[in-house]
A and B are shown apart, each in its own frame.
Chain A
Amino acid sequence: MSNFTALIHNENIKIYSRARTWIMLIILAVFSAFLPALMYFTMDNPASRLGVWDSFQMIVSVVFFLNTIFVVVIAADSVAGEFTWGTIKMLLIRPWSRSQILLSKYISIVLFSLLCTAVLIVFGLASSFIFASPTGDTLSSITAWSPAEYSFIDLLCRYVTLFLTVTLAFMISSVFRASGLAIGLSMFIMFAQGIFAALLNPDVFEWARYLIFTHMDLRVYMGSDIGPGGATLGFSIAVLAVYYVIFLAVSWFVFRKRDVAG
């Protein structure tokens, strides 16, 4: 019984036995299902109805914000919550290393982010298939991809952004032990990322080529091969990977070294 999966199981219990987790999942499901229905009932002319994948695209573009926020909330509480509750003392005095405990927390958050995204996809698609028009997709005219391919590649790019934002929240939670700060800062970066990317233009500032904001939205590569500041997809992914490793390294370093007092 006492293997690493038991630790992840413990973390999952802590996430899913709280009412707020289920409220968040229900809100995600309801919003995803609700938008196509709303459009169906408000548009009288059947000819102007969106296609299935257009409808799904619209849902993703709106509800993915919510998705990110919810996962950030859980990630921000993961380590900080244990400190707030004082249970960190109970958690750490077991025959497990701190690295293993932190890893189990991180994995449980990644699993939660996948679950939330799955809920969004399942409810959004099901609702789109019910309420949107099976013909009338306009997406396919833009790219060589089929509407389904386009939608899922778009979703994947958004998930990359979510993944980094959540890892950042996890790092702040681990370093500052304050979930409010983790949520606030991650949200700020989520919303201000576009503004930073525009202000710190890599064409103007050479160093801005290495900022995370410049590369967080990989969807630019869906339309062209050249990204911000003449970067390639490979370069963007490399920059993001470096930031990702730094976030995790800082989380691990601080959590392992921390004196748990007071």
Chain B
Amino acid sequence: MSNTEMLSEPVARLQGVTKKIGSKTLVSNLTLDIPPGQIFGFLGPNGAGKTTTIRMMVGLISISSGDVLISGHSIKNNYKEAIASVGAIVENPEMYKFLSGYQNLRQFARMVPGVSKQRIDEVVELVGLGQRIHDKVKTYSLGMRQRLGVAQALLNRPKLLVLDEPTNGLDPQGIRELRDYLRLLCREEGTTVFVSSHLLSEMELMCDSVAIIQNGQLLEVKQLKEVGNVTMPIGETLFEVDDAEAALALIGQGTLKSGGLVVEAAREEIAEFNARLVAGGIKVYSIKSLARTLEDQFLEVTGGEGIE
């Protein structure tokens, strides 16, 4: 992470956010900072509390304890200022079906200051709805509604775009397009995107970081793509050899595991180790990176459990 990013204020801060209904705790003491300019994933199995958290972030449901700050404004005590810099789709992008897409956008545009006709045309252009924007929403496919949903969320040039399971019900083409324009938004307009999903592979492709939540509790925050210039990460590599102990003696580091030698090494070192092993008369059958996929990590931290 570069210095400027480290210094810049988080766009949103969840501070000990808790939601209790009766004796049931849906979200428990969730503390999370969402750094600016990222696509930040919010990952968890169904029923983990993702949507509940998002509903609290946008003020649709009350926060039992804790607070959410957006651009420094409390969603609890300063709702209007806080929500002014947020664009959101919570669950499905529901629109007035008896109005056209354009009339729907006009509805929401009237509710925020400073949204010109030009801005409406701009977002329509961005999500690629074209002339269909003037058709009634009831004639739209789910993919088109999703685009219209994104369009309405962008009207007020939000600093934080909150999307709840945006890929639900989209075909692969639609998912791909959504991913592309979220990237575009992040890059061109500097919008921070907070996106929830239970689809690991999707998050892996889309996000810069992910927070993993289970049973209403935050388990881990992970960087997926290193931002800025940092050296290649050092990962674990398995050398499958005929004599692992001899190999360990030769290399002088690593551990014996699953019929081979596991070493922590950078890319260049792996080639070097291989050369040394071969030169030392040890047969190398395969060299395998043990870098874990997000899915492995996800299952690891959530313990592969379902909903409790």
Within 8 A of B (CB), among A239-262: 257, 259-261
B-contact bits for A6-24, CB 8 A (1 contact / 0 none): 1101100110011000000
- Whether A92 contacts B99 by the Cβ 8 Å rule is no
Given contacts A18-B98, A90-B95, A260-B60, contact A96 B90 (CB under 8 A): no
Query: Which of B104-112, B178-186, B269-277 is the contact stretch?
Result: B104-112
Choose among B61, B81, B83, B96 the residue with the greatest number of A CB atoms under 10 Å from its CB: B96
How many residues does chain B have at the interface if contact means C-beta atoms less than 8 Å apart? 34
Chain A residues within an 8 Å CB radius of B112: 2, 94-95
Flag whether B59 is at the interface (Cβ < 8 A): yes
Q: How many angstroms between the C-alpha atoms of A13 and B86 in the bound complex?
A: 25
Chain A residues within an 8 Å CB radius of B76: none
- Whether A87 contacts B96 by the Cβ 8 Å rule is yes
- Whether A7 contacts B95 by the Cβ 8 Å rule is no
Given contacts A85-B96, A90-B152, A97-B80, contact A259 B110 (CB under 8 A): no
Flag whether A93 is at the interface (Cβ < 8 A): yes
Flag whether A38 is at the interface (Cβ < 8 A): no
- Whether B107 contacts A10 by the Cβ 8 Å rule is yes
Flag whether A194 is at the interface (Cβ < 8 A): no
- Whether A95 contacts B110 by the Cβ 8 Å rule is no
Q: How many angstroms between the C-alpha atoms of A2 and B80 in the bound complex?
A: 13
Chain A residues within an 8 Å CB radius of B84: 95
- Whether A85 contacts B97 by the Cβ 8 Å rule is yes
How many residues does chain A have at the interface if contact means C-beta atoms less than 8 Å apart? 25
Q: How many angstroms between the C-alpha atoms of A90 and B110 in the bound complex?
A: 13
Flag whether B297 is at the interface (Cβ < 8 A): no
Flag whether A1 is at the interface (Cβ < 8 A): yes
Given contacts A92-B60, A95-B111, A261-B60, contact A14 B91 (CB under 8 A): no
- Whether B60 contacts A87 by the Cβ 8 Å rule is no
Specify which of B55, B88, B92 is in contact with A261 (CB 8 Å cutoff).
B55
Flag whether B62 is at the interface (Cβ < 8 A): yes
- Whether B96 contacts A96 by the Cβ 8 Å rule is no
- Whether A2 contacts B83 by the Cβ 8 Å rule is no
Specify which of A7, A13, A86, A257 is in contact with B111 (CB 8 Å cutoff).
A7
Chain B residues within an 8 Å CB radius of A13: 99, 103, 107
Chain B residues within an 8 Å CB radius of A7: 110-111
- Partner-A contacts on B (CB < 8 A): 52, 55, 58-62, 79-81, 83-84, 86, 88, 90-99, 103, 107-108, 110-115, 152
A sample of 20 inter-chain contacts (CB < 8 A) reads A2-B114, A6-B111, A13-B103, A85-B96, A85-B97, A86-B91, A89-B60, A90-B108, A92-B59, A92-B60, A93-B58, A94-B108, A95-B79, A95-B81, A95-B83, A96-B80, A259-B55, A259-B60, A260-B60, A261-B55
Given contacts A2-B112, A17-B98, A89-B91, 8 further A-B contacts (CB under 8 A): A14-B96, A93-B59, A93-B86, A94-B83, A95-B111, A95-B113, A261-B60, A261-B61
